[in-house]
Chain A
Amino acid sequence: MSAASPQASGTTGLVPAIRSLDQFIYGHAPKPIACGRGVVIGDGTVVPELNFTLPPLDVNVDTWPTVRAQYSEMIEGVCKRAVELEVPALLVEFETLPPMTVNPEWGAEITALLAETMARYHERHGLRSALRLTPNDTRDHVRPPVMRSGMYWDGMVKLFRMAGPSGADLLAIESTGGKEIHDEGLMNADLETMVYGIGVLAPRDMKFLWTEMVAACRETNIVPSGDTACGFANTAMVLAEQRMIPRVLAAVARVAAVPRSLVAYEVGAIGPSKDCAYEGPYMKAIMGVPISMEGRSAACAHLSAVGNIAQAVCDCWSNESVQNVRLLSANAPTVSLEQLAYDCRLLNVAAKTPQGATQMRDWLTESDAALDPQAYVLRPDVVLRLAAAIAAEPTPYLRTRRAVQATLQDIADAAAKNEVKIPANETRWIDRFRKVAEALPEDEDEFITEMRSRLADAPYLPQEYGLSA
């Protein structure tokens, strides 16, 4: 596959790595990654990525032996089934629970436990595998969140540096900088406040955070993989699924998250993006990095309107997370692995026939795209169109502004052509949002001044984002 590398082009932004639909298919990314025990991502084979978590259980000193036993049971079951199903490779994500980041030694201990088991299965059974460690972002344990210092930040940094020595092969995060403001905007359908949270505050935090993470990965020789706007756009997706906010707003929130998530790759992350980053296709299109995605396979964690289309251009296919509970066949993580393994097997077999991958991609796309604006904005041709518009802008704020404006325009046009279904009670919202989007100033300083005045009493600390106190 040939595709251009993203290039900074002066003040006009980035040149997307993928510009043609023919190049935009699952399993193939312009910049594949080799990691762990013989795993290659984005070089032609879709790889299952499994995540799991504890059943209801307090994590503390007294329950720690139980916690260890739970993780041990989960990874054993998953590796054993992966061998039986002859998966081409297995990516496992361990996303820490808050006490395991606040006490980074705990997070490191579980990382080591998982890595040892995966290494044993590689040695004995040839199971290719890699372990992704995702420390959770604990900086909002204090409110307003303190982003750049203090015990929570210190715990995160320590775990970043313990990741490699403990056995992790990749480092990721689900960072939350700017979420405290974005949440307010989302609940009130206040597009300006959302843009301030995700287009002004979040990119500043991403740059600070990812500079630290990339440095830690380089020091310990592991892969700085990617971030996710889960706390922003997936919050919107779940709220929309519960009919709490308009689906159109959730679609806009998804695309508005793209510039924020791009920052990680501009600072040095190389992928794969995190599974719950449904903005992943935009990362792949613009930066050329491989992406992990989740859809129908993640119904164990949350519902969505993008179950099939999310798979259309994925490089890893994930379940988001599943609790370790017993089902009729096996424990839930093992069940999830089996579902992912069969999904990947189908994708990979289809890709062996001429035009098989593009046909499969198009079926996955067509089955969802017209039914919901959130699915529509993941349609590969729409992704390429919006990605080009976003990448053409030079700064995260201007990219976010453009993302919001272009997405609303695109959805309105598509609705007029019956390419996407907009619920009757949402049409009034499109016009409202478009008026606000078109009024966003071009000058970021002007926007910051206006929003700081409006949000003077909001629960956030501007200085934690590099703005004046």
Chain B
Amino acid sequence: MSDLQALYTAVLEGNAPAAKAAVQQALDEGVNPEELLQKYMIPAMDEVGRLFEANEYFVPELLISARAMKGALELIRPKLVETGAKPVGKVVIGTVRGDLHDIGKNLVAAMLEGGGFEVIDLGVDVSPEKFVETAKEKGAEIIAMSALLTTTMPGMKTTVEAVNGAGLKGKVKTMIGGAPVTQRYADEIGADGFSDNASGAVRVARELVAK
């Protein structure tokens, strides 16, 4: 019989082989994949986020856990599709046009993946058109944008406008982040969500897909 608590611990401690082994054993024993995800894996990542926000974990520990989560998810995802369970969500992410900084964006992408989201990473210097096209093509619920420079922040506004101009307002939610970005700026440009840290970004993304 599977020790499902071991799955929780493996994700929490970033032990990818143990996480995958625990998932595989549980699936072989017929445990519902939705139960694995909702009761053990996502709560483990939530605890990782909490430890990070409490200054006990650093980013490298977040990433190790996110990788363990991702590896385990790869085993679960096909089973979830078979059972008709709704995926957590799909996010198109990138650093806006003219901006080449990607550490923050990569971190948010890893944490979103760890949070169960499917992430399409467009990289850096991404035009508003590219964000919108990809979101349409992939059926994404969220466009997540990052900027480090005050001079590239306007790219977030033009992307929000492009989303609205393409008739996607409300269907594709936008969220933003980055060193100079604030909630006030998000409100100003009509972005649906803002976070100033990576684990917070996962919470915001979950709220946006739940709306």
Contact = CB atoms under 8 A, between A and B. Distances in A.
Contacts of A239: 59, 103
A187 B153 contact: no
A183 B103 contact: yes
Given A56-B150, A239-B103, A245 B59 contact: yes
Interface of A: 53-59, 97-99, 140-141, 143, 183, 186-190, 235, 238-239, 242-246, 323, 425
Interface in B90-144: 98, 100, 102-103, 106-107, 123-125
Given A99-B98, A141-B125, A239-B103, A425 B56 contact: yes
B150 A189 contact: no
B-side binding surface: helix, strand, loop or mixed?
loop
A99 B154 CA distance: 15
5 contacts: A56-B151, A98-B98, A141-B100, A243-B58, A425-B58
Contacts of A190: 60
A58 B151 contact: yes
B54 to A, nearest CB: 10
B98 A323 contact: no
Contacts of A246: 58
Contacts of A98: 98, 100
A97 B151 contact: yes
Contacts of B64: 188
Contacts of B125: 141
B60 A189 contact: yes
A417 B202 CA distance: 42
Nearest to B123: A143
Contacts of B123: 143
A115 B103 CA distance: 35
Interface residues of B, number: 24
A58 B56 CA distance: 40
B63 interface: yes
Interface string B40-66: 000000000000000110111001100
Nearest to A57: B151
Given A143-B123, A425-B55, 8 more contacts: A53-B151, A55-B150, A56-B150, A58-B154, A97-B151, A143-B124, A187-B59, A235-B103
Nearest to A423: B55
A188 B103 CA distance: 11
A56 B154 contact: yes
Contact of B151 (A59, A141, A143, A187): A59
Nearest to A58: B154
Interface in B11-67: 55-56, 58-60, 63-64
B100 A188 contact: no
A175 to B, nearest CB: 13
Contacts of B103: 183, 186-187, 235, 239
B147 to A, nearest CB: 10
A183 B197 CA distance: 18
